[in-house]
Amino acid sequence: MTPKAPTVTETLKRLKQSKFRSSFHLKEKDFLYIEEKGLETIEKHAQDFVRERLQPAHPKNDGKQTPMKGHPVFVAQHACACCCRGCLEKWYRVPKGVPLTEQQEKKIVHLLMSWIELEVKGHQSSS
């Protein structure tokens, strides 16, 4: 029997326990960008970034393909350990050298959007 995959909530809780992963937070310009574009557009960007930068078996510049800032999804990718194939392998046992499946891509995007939505809620409640 295959072990049950952790839920998004369980994964986010585990990521918060990492000093490095928990150090990432959206900045004011990220919140303004999200407000301007809307979460639906941000999700489309996340889908594109995951497909272009993580889906291939051997992504271009793997390990360096995700900037640390410049887009809310980039920040989320680092916070969620979905920034490169090495992090995906270390944190989620997604093997390097094999293209991501459509289901894996969807799970990554869902995790990234869940993290972004939590950041937005936290920002709104502190404003």
Q: Is the pLDDT of residue 47 over 80?
A: yes
Mean pLDDT of the chain: 93
What is the C-alpha to C-alpha distance for residues 39 and 78, in angstroms, rounded to an integer?
Answer: 19
How many domains are contained in the chain? 1
78 within domain boundaries: yes
82 within domain boundaries: yes
Structural domain that includes position 97: 8-126
42 within domain boundaries: yes
Question: Quick one: pLDDT at residue 117?
Answer: 97
**This prediction's pTM:** 0.93
Question: Quick one: pLDDT at residue 1?
Answer: 54
47 within domain boundaries: yes
Instruction: Report the pLDDT averaged over residues 106-127.
Output: 92
80 within domain boundaries: yes
What confidence tens digit (pLDDT) does each residue in 81-97 have? 999 999 999 999 999 99
2 within domain boundaries: no
User: Sorting pLDDT into bands at 50, 70 and 90, what band is 4?
Assistant: confident
